[in-house]
């Protein structure tokens, strides 16, 4: 996996020493790559999918309703036991960051934060 977030899956951070990988939704949207296969690839590499990044990516488009709903359905499929917790954490993050901005703008901020970490890690 490359670390270039514009073309593929990239590292967004760590959790307890395990790498988090983002770019899952971008791969689905731009290349039609199935989310379940991306998650399987990440797990094979002993990493964790960054589901918050995936949801933010889906919600960052200017008309996010369809993409975000589709991402939630994918999340329920690939992480059925954890999807409720992930959605709760995302909602909590969103509430602290919204400042009255539109949904897609808040999602764009999260995505920018994740990508900034990626760039800093690659310098």
Domain positions in the chain are 10-121
Closest CA to 54 of 74, 11, 29, 25: 25
For 81-94, the pLDDT digits (tens) are: 999 999 998 998 88
Contacts of 38 (CB under 8 A, 6+ apart): 9, 24, 27, 28, 49
Name the phi and psi angles at 94, rounded to 5.
Answer: -60, -45
CA angle 105, 58, 92 (to 5 degrees): 65
Coil, strand or helix at 63: coil
pLDDT at 42 over 70: yes
Question: pTM score, two decimals?
Answer: 0.84
């Amino acid at each position: 996996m490359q670390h270039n977030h514009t073309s593929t899956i990239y590292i967004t951070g760590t959790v307890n020493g395990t790498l988090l990988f983002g770019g899952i939704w971008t791969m689905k949207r731009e290349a039609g790559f199935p989310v379940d296969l991306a998650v399987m690839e990440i797990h094979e590499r002993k990493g964790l999918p960054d589901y918050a990044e995936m949801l933010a990516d889906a919600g960052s488009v200017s008309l996010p309703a369809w993409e975000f709903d589709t991402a939630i359905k994918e999340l329920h499929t690939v992480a059925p036991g954890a999807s409720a917790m992930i959605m709760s954490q995302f909602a909590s993050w969103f509430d602290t960051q919204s400042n009255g901005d539109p949904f897609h703008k808040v999602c764009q901020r999260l995505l920018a934060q994740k990508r900034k970490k990626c760039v800093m890690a690659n310098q």
